[in-house]
Chains A and B, each alone.
Chain A
């Protein structure tokens, strides 16, 4: 997902949680991002700061912690387990950008290094999720 769209989705989720749970001050937000999203962390943090202002959310920047989850791919046909970063998974700029926007596009451009099947599972390392939101009421 694009860094700005991702930042906006995270901030709207935090805003929704504040409202739902009557949180006065958010102290910690743990965001997990799958490696396949290939986000630029610097742009993402910049986007978070800016989107926060738009939503009138006052949150210390260090309160948002971002962790990247490494990707694991598993072939549904032969059972081979590998990762996007392995040799043989080098992609061109356009292909990498397509996967950046929609990680499932990996199935279009990546094949199992063992049996060449496109039928593999993204076991880990896709998507974005908020692991925890902590705050004071």
Chain B
């Protein structure tokens, strides 16, 4: 009997909504969407948490400019406040070192982190999901039962095909999918991701243009919120 599995539901019980930002393919901007979505929600007065579960390539901390923080210990770990977000990531424990973990070990580390983190009361917990639909993602789906999904893709056929496959798995598992975000559009032309996925009855949450200013805003929350990326995302997000 693994007692950690008994405590995870309790750790998440005071969170109203848990939104996983996923999409299957790496490099589509999931971490940027998750981080800026969390910032936008916090700015709008929602009590918001952000959990980076991409243990293979954690990057939300870089986007938010997190440095020199560690969770407070008080009968568990309390995520530090980062620009109004309660932020938890494996980087507090790994520092800048790589974490060469196999799938089973990533799952164990995720269980440990979920069992020890004290989120308190939140309106939203945004989760930056790992890419792919391998054992880690399936374990997260199994452990966090109230997740709703936002899928992020780019207009690339490669990304769209992977997102469609993830969508098929989520729908087969009867998990709620809030919709698709088409990120990094290089032209104003609508590429019709939603139409392409229409056979699977998923909503388009909108498109976000490729924003060359985003790279320069990484690590600076104020600049991030001023980007076109953030403005487009805040007008599209489905949580209003």
Contacts and interface: CB of A to CB of B under 8 A. Distances in A.
Nearest to A98: B93
Contacts of A129: 1-3
Contacts of B73: 2
Contact of B6 (A12, A47, A118): A12
Given A2-B116, A4-B75, A101-B112, A108 B98 contact: yes
B129 interface: no
Interface string A113-130: 000001101100011111
Most central of B77, B108, B112 by chain A CB within 10 Å? B112
Interface in B88-134: 90, 92-95, 97-102, 105-106, 108-109, 112-113, 115-116, 118
Interface string A63-105: 0000000000000000000000000000000000010011111
A127 to B, nearest CB: 7
Interface string B1-24: 111101100100000000000000
B238 interface: no
Contact of B3 (A13, A47, A103): A13
Contacts, number: 98
Nearest to B55: A104
Contacts of A98: 92-94
Interface residues of A, number: 34
B76 interface: yes
Contacts of B92: 98
B6 A104 contact: no
A41 interface: no
Contacts of B4: 1, 9, 127-128
A107 B112 contact: no
B113 to A, nearest CB: 6
Interface of A: 1-2, 4-6, 8-10, 12-13, 16-17, 31, 47, 98, 101-105, 107-109, 118-119, 121-122, 126-131, 133
